[in-house]
């Protein structure tokens, strides 16, 4: 038997005792060590992001392989791992591929489920099962706590996989919460000059430690005017919208230069009937969404130790306190569920 924190209805989580799952031939069973709480979990918990329930949340996690399906190499057992969250034909090693997996777009698989988000139980649980193609073995340089950041860091990296950055490009990051902070660090490492914009003094201070060379406090100053000053009146080459609000998107349209790009980074909340896109047409602006990213590259980045992700962790909670952890994550930086040190 094992314990799982189940979201049964919005804002209602119960701890269930469950039977150990029987693995499919290409699945791996992971004993979860640490799981991170992110904005998506907050939106799923509140019901703002609607998915079929009941569901075990948790998609940013690390752990140890305890069992493998019948077709898999036993060597994986005992390995410290992280896992990608999009379950696809490719990650299950299916022979019969859907139209998207056939084209290499496995993150857009027609049969996709998403660990801890869409129709697939996640890692706020003692055990989680995943398809073998999702698993990445961790190098010894990365601790199991730091490894929780592989998933969000991969998502940050994906921003610039789809919107390539040139050296000395001015990248404005609008909203420097958990993800925006990692995006700032990645943009900085790619040679961009990062301008962080937020209403929070504390978040801006943190962004400076993660590669922002300039910060704009939008509760105190006119961010459009200040950005114009910084960029000699041109505007940002790339604006990353990480607030998930209509105001953020409207501001992004004002901050970006003609022929620049707006990168959209939030999967919830960006319902914006009031945004006027005329400027996008007049200034020939490109809008690029992006979601999950390359785990191997995120692992390499963490291994190098250049992004101080450990400093983002503000608190950790036992599995029984998942609800408190999610509530705390509303205002804290990174909250972890700690399944390693449970008594
Ligand atoms: Zn997340
Ligand atoms: Zn597929």
Distance, CA 298 to ligand 2 centroid (Å)? 23
Distance, CA 197 to ligand 2 centroid (Å)? 38
CA distance 22 to 70: 11
Distance, CA 115 to ligand 2 centroid (Å)? 15
- Residue 206 burial (10 A CB sphere; 0-12, 13-18, 19+): buried
pLDDT at 342 over 90: no
Distance, CA 60 to ligand 1 centroid (Å)? 6
Prediction pTM value: 0.95
115-145 per-position pLDDT tens digit:
999 999 999 999 999 999 999 999 999 999 9
**Nearest C-alpha neighbor of 120 from the set 145, 86, 148:** 86
Q: How confident is the model at residue 343 (pLDDT cuts 50, 70, 90)?
A: very low
Distance, CA 155 to ligand 1 centroid (Å)? 8
Identify the nearest ligand to the CA of 109 by its number. Answer: 2
pLDDT at 170 over 60: yes
**Nearest C-alpha neighbor of 265 from the set 249, 241, 285:** 241
pLDDT (0 to 100) of residue 55: 98
CA distance 267 to 158: 14
Rg (CA), the chain: 20
Distance, CA 61 to ligand 1 centroid (Å)? 10
The beta-strand segments (E) located in the chain are: 2-9, 12-18, 27-37, 55-56, 60-68, 80-83, 86-87, 113-114, 127-131, 135-137, 170-174, 193-198, 212-217, 236-241, 256-264, 286-289, 313-317, 334-338
Who contacts 281 (Cβ-Cβ below 8 Å, separation ≥6)? none
Identify the nearest ligand to the CA of 108 by its number. Answer: 2
Distance, CA 289 to ligand 1 centroid (Å)? 16
191-246 per-position pLDDT tens digit:
999 999 999 999 999 999 999 999 999 999 999 999 999 999 999 999 999 998 88
266-287 per-position pLDDT tens digit:
866 556 667 888 999 999 999 9
Distance of CA 273 to the CA centre of its chain: 25
The beta-strand segments (E) located in 69-138 are: 80-83, 86-87, 113-114, 127-131, 135-137
pLDDT at 109 over 70: yes
């Amino acid at each position: 038997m094992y314990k799982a924190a189940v979201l049964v209805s919005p804002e209602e989580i119960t701890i269930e005792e469950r039977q150990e799952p029987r693995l499919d031939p290409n699945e791996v069973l992971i004993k979860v060590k640490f799981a991170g709480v992110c904005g998506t979990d907050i939106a799923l918990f509140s019901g703002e992001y609607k998915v079929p329930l009941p569901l075990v949340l948790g998609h940013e996690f690390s752990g140890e392989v305890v069992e493998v399906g019948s077709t898999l190499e036993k060597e994986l057992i005992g390995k410290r791992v992280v896992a990608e969250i999009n379950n696809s034909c490719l990650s299950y090693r299916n022979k019969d591929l859907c139209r998207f997996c056939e084209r290499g777009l496995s993150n857009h698989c027609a049969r996709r489920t998403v660990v801890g988000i869409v129709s697939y139980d996640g890692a706020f649980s003692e055990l989680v099962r995943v398809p073998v193609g999702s698993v990445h073995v961790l190098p010894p340089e990365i601790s199991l706590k730091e490894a929780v950041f592989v998933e969000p860091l991969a998502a940050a990296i994906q921003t610039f996989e789809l919107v390539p950055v040139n050296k000395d490009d001015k990248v404005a990051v609008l909203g420097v919460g958990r993800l925006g902070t990692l995006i700032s660090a990645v943009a900085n490492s790619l040679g961009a000059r990062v301008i962080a914009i937020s209403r929070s003094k504390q978040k801006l201070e943190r962004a400076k430690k993660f590669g922002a060379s300039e910060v704009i406090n939008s509760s105190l100053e006119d961010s459009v005017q200040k950005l114009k000053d910084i960029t000699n009146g041109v505007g940002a080459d790339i604006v990353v919208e990480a607030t998930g609000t209509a105001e953020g998107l409207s501001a992004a349209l004002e901050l970006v230069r003609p022929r620049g790009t707006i990168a959209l980074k939030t999967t919830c909340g960006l319902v914006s009937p009031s945004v006027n896109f005329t400027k996008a047409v007049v200034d020939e602006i490109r809008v690029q969404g992006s979601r999950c990213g390359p785990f191997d590259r995120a692992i390499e980045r963490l291994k190098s130790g250049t992004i101080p992700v450990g400093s983002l962790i503000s608190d950790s909670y036992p599995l029984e306190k998942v609800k408190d952890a999610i509530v705390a994550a509303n205002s804290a930086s990174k909250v972890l569920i700690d399944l390693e040190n449970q008594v």
